[in-house]
């Protein structure tokens, strides 16, 4: 059977992973805490690679009938009621001594055995997500499902359904699951996608998710603080075009929807910044969501292509230094190698767009497609050189 009744305490599947780094920002130690889990990227994931970012990345009311620029707004409670049926909790598992096809009863974390019973999948973690379509596709973050072998999705009413991983885009931190529905079974709701391009700083927003994997479908509200933000997450990868907001999110909220005041999804929560000042108060309320239009576009692409997604590939290892983005190594036979890019080159631009602290090589590459020819500007021995490169597609397994 694909559908399961919930246990009284599903929090046993929650795990928190952290990575340390060097911080800077007005003499404060900065921690970027993704709402659940840790980003895992290999050096070759982007076809580029990677020094660590200069901060730590740990993979974290309005009255009714108020007229807004985007239409008639609901109260926070009405927004939650409108959207809640489509919001889910995602529990992840790793195979133990051999998966026997039955999920174990979920147990509280403090009662988890040191050695999980042979043949049963062991709880790995938990995150949030939302139902994208009537046929059972679910959207969440790639870092929520990373490293897992099997998945259980829990509806707002506690009903649990097994799910299969369809595909991921690790560079945008988006993953698609497919519910394994019994014959005749239907989903409890489908999210309505709004237009994130219509957002403005100051707009009120609502977040729904499952902090700690236990407090399922929790609701918080806040306001948009800024748009088109970027966070570097290491390995030469940055998350771009993010929505900054102050609706409270916690570990377990990753993958949950950020909603406008009509109950439409305009973002997917992914990270928060927690700062502990050496001399001064802590700073909070810096939370981030992936732009909703971007999420919808990538989700549709993953579904249409049965889980595969073509990512442009340059084939270099780089590190951001005081002098710029320096090429540390070049993959033999790769696109960069064939175009004459060499170790020691400093990548200054791609198709005329400058590579700098705010715009990474990966961000500019993701604007391209495999087989596109781009002009890459490099500084070499004090001289500016323009190199024509035909991008490849990221190889399988990288």
What DSSP letter does each residue of 191-252 carry, written as one string? PPB--GGG--TT-EEEEEE-GGGTSTTEEEEEEEEEEEEEEEEETTEEEEEEEEE-S---TT
State whether residue 311 is helix, strand or coil.
coil
Average pLDDT over residues 366-379: 90
384 is catalytic: no
Q: Band the pLDDT of 325: cuts 50, 70, 90.
A: confident
If one compares 361 and 160, the residue with the highest pLDDT of the two is 160
pLDDT > 70? residue 118? no
**Residues 362 and 292 grouped into a single domain:** no
Residue 44 CB contacts under 8 Å (≥ 6 apart), including other chains: 317, 331, 398
**Residues 169 and 209 grouped into a single domain:** no
How far is residue 334's CA from residue 14's CA, in Å, rounded to a whole number? 40
**pLDDT value for 60:** 52
Q: Does residue 359 fall inside a structural domain?
A: yes
pTM: 0.71
Name the domain count of the chain: 3
How far is residue 145's CA from residue 254's CA, in Å, rounded to a whole number? 11
Active-site pick, 45, 169, 173, 345:
173
Q: What is the pLDDT of residues 51-89, one digit of tens each?
A: 333 333 444 522 233 444 445 678 999 999 999 999 999
173 is catalytic: yes
State whether residue 10 is helix, strand or coil.
helix
pLDDT > 50? residue 11? no
How far is residue 342's CA from residue 376's CA, in Å, rounded to a whole number? 12
Q: What percent of the chain has pLDDT over 90?
A: 49
Query: Nearest to residue 54, comparing CAs of 90, 86, 13, 24?
Result: 24
Q: Which of 253, 286, 305 is the last residue of a domain?
A: 305
Active-site pick, 11, 45, 128, 143:
143
Domain containing residue 248: CATH number: 2.40.10.10
Residues 174/142, Cβ–Cβ less than 8 Å: yes
**Residues 161 and 224 grouped into a single domain:** no
Within the chain, residue ranges assigned H as helices are 76-83, 142-145, 292-304, 335-339, 361-365
Active-site pick, 150, 254, 349, 360:
254
State whether residue 124 is helix, strand or coil.
strand
pLDDT > 90? residue 122? no
Q: Does residue 64 fall inside a structural domain?
A: no
Q: Band the pLDDT of 310: cuts 50, 70, 90.
A: confident
Q: Does residue 187 fall inside a structural domain?
A: no
Q: What is the pLDDT of residues 162-209, one digit of tens each?
A: 999 999 998 889 999 999 999 889 999 999 999 999 999 999 999 999
Q: Does residue 5 fall inside a structural domain?
A: no
Average pLDDT over residues 99-123: 48
pLDDT > 90? residue 313? no
**Residues 221 and 273 grouped into a single domain:** yes
Q: Which domain holds residue 138?
A: 76-98+119-179
State whether residue 118 is helix, strand or coil.
coil
7 is catalytic: no
**pLDDT value for 16:** 26
**pLDDT value for 121:** 80
């Amino acid at each position: 059977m694909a559908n399961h009744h919930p246990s009284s305490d599903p929090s046993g599947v929650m795990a928190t992973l952290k990575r340390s780094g060097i911080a800077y920002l007005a003499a404060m130690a900065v921690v970027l805490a993704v709402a659940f889990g840790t980003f895992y990227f290999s050096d070759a994931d982007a076809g580029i690679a990677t020094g660590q970012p200069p901060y730590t990345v740990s993979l974290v009311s309005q009255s009714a009938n108020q007229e807004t620029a985007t239409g008639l707004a609901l109260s926070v409670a009405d927004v939650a009621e409108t959207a809640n049926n489509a919001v889910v909790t995602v529990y992840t598992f790793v195979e133990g001594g051999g998966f026997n096809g039955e999920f174990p009863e979920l147990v509280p974390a403090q009662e988890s055995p040191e050695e999980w019973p042979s043949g049963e999948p062991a709880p790995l973690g938990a995150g949030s997500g939302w139902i994208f379509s009537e046929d059972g596709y679910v959207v969440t973050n790639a870092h929520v499902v990373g490293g897992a072998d099997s998945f259980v999705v829990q509806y707002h009413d506690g009903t649990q359904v097994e799910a299969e991983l369809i595909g991921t885009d690790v560079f945008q931190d988006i993953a698609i699951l497919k519910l394994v529905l019994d014959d005749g079974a239907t989903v409890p709701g489908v999210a309505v996608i709004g237009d994130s391009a219509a957002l403005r700083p100051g707009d009120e927003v609502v977040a729904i998710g499952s902090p700690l994997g236990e407090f399922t479908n929790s609701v918080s509200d806040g306001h948009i603080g800024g748009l088109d933000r970027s966070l570097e997450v290491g390995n030469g990868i940055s998350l771009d075009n993010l929505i900054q907001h102050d609706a409270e999110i916690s570990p377990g909220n990753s993958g949950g929807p950020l909603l406008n005041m009509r109950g439409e999804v305009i973002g997917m929560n992914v990270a928060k910044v927690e700062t502990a000042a050496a001399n001064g108060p802590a700073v909070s309320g810096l939370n981030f969501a992936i732009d909703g239009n971007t999420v919808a576009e990538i989700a549709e692409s993953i579904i249409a292509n049965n889980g595969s997604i073509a990512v442009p590939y340059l084939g270099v290892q780089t590190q951001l230094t005081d002098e710029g983005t320096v090429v540390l190594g070049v993959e033999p036979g790769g696109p960069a190698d064939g175009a004459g890019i060499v170790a020691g080159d400093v990548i200054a631009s791609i198709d005329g767009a400058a590579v700098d602290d705010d715009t990474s090589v990966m961000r500019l590459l993701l604007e391209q497609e495999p087989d596109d020819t781009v002009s890459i500007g490099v500084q070499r021995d004090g001289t500016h050189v323009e190199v024509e490169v035909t991008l490849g597609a990221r190889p399988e397994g990288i």
